[in-house]
Amino acid sequence: MNIKIVHLYPDLLNLYGDRGNIQCMVMRCRWRGIDAQVKEYRLGDRVDFSDADIVLLGGGSDREQQIVCTKLQSIRSDFSAYVEDGGTVIAVCGGYQLLGHYYDTPDGRMEGLSLVDLYTQQGSPRLISNVILKNEEFPYEIVGFENHGGRTFIGDNKPFGTVAFGFGNNGEDGKEGVMYKNVIGTYLHGPLLPKNPHVCDRLIGTALERRFGSSQLEPLDDEDEKRANRYIVERFVKEEKQASDR
């Protein structure tokens, strides 16, 4: 069995360890005897979605997003067909914002891919925090770190999680990220997947299901990762409680 992981514009969208997300997916496949190959596409390249199983769109500063967003328009229809066909996507922070219709900043509007019905507006101050999310579709909490000026609004779409600690999409509605078909968009980095092996396995699972019609994943020994996750959850939930008791 083998899968192809597509990394879009790693030279520009690479804030906060997006390569760590790639490494995590590759290793969790290999440890199970699944061969995972990584294909990186740079700005001038023609992106081929036909043999892609997981697409990663990483985080970037506003300046880098602006460069990428122009290019994204030329791959929009192929990318959209991939998503509508159940293709797996993980988009982090700047990449998450670009999944939507637009990202408005004081310098103007960046047109997004409109793959998911959401939009983003820049606000002040930046939302910077550790984050803990709850989502019953996952066996335990999702943890990470956020740092964004954009406020994202996802309408009736399903969030990636509800915020137990941190700001989330916009600091107002208690939602973080988005889930649409097999797309996950999120502000969480850290990087996301090594901190959350259950999220990594979900991406691998949906990719295998689409390609081979089966997503049975052999369990791996995640005791260290689970202990680290637990530590973060207990630490920040306790801090929140102490702050509200004060």
Contacting range for ligand GLN; rule: CB under 6 A; set: 28-36, 61-69, 133-141, 200-208: 61-69
* Residue 196 backbone phi and psi in degrees, to 5: -135, 75
Q: Among residues 69, 93, 148, 198, which one is catalytic?
A: 93
Choosing from 17, 59, 87, 159, the residue that interacts with ligand GLN (CB under 6 A) is: 59
189 is a catalytic site residue: yes
Number of H helices, E strands in the chain: 6, 12
Judging by beta carbons within 10 Å of its beta carbon (0-12, 13-18, 19+), is residue 51 exposed, middle or buried? exposed
Q: By CB under 6 A, how many residues form the interface with ligand GLN? A: 12
94 in contact with ligand GLN (CB under 6 A): yes
* Listed ranges 78-86, 110-118, 147-155, 217-225: which one lies at the site for ligand GLN (CB under 6 A): 147-155
CB of 82 to ligand GLN, least distance (A): 22
Complex with ligand GLN: residue 21 or 65, whichever CB lies closer: 65
Active site residue 93: yes
Interface with ligand GLN (CB under 6 A), residue from 150, 168, 190, 191: 150
The reply to whether 147 sits near ligand GLN by the rule CB under 6 A is yes
The rounded distance, in Å, linking the Cα atoms of 198 and 222 is 9
Rounded CA gap, 210 and 88, in Å? 9
DSSP H or E segment with residue 81 = helix 62-84
Q: Using CA atoms, how far apart are residues 65 and 120, in angstroms rounded to an integer?
A: 13
- Tokens standing for 22? 């790639």
Asked if 60 touches ligand GLN (CB under 6 A), the answer is yes
Give least dist CB 68 to ligand GLN, A: 11
Q: Which long-range contacts (CB under 8 A, 24 or more apart) does 71-77 make?
A: 71/9, 71/43, 72/98, 72/112, 72/113, 73/111, 73/113, 75/47, 76/113, 76/114, 76/115
Q: Which of 147/162 has CB closer to ligand GLN?
A: 147
For 2, other C-beta atoms within 10 Å of its C-beta total 11
Q: CA quadruple 192, 195, 201, 204: dihedral positive or negative?
A: positive
62 is a contact residue toward ligand GLN (CB under 6 A)? yes
Candidates 31-39, 67-75, 77-85, 145-153; binding stretch for ligand GLN (CB under 6 A): 145-153
Q: Which among 2-10, 80-88, 142-150, 205-213 is the span making contact with ligand GLN, rule CB under 6 A? A: 142-150
Kindly list the catalytic residues: 93, 189
| Interacting residues with ligand GLN (CB under 6 A) | 15, 59-62, 65, 93-94, 147-150
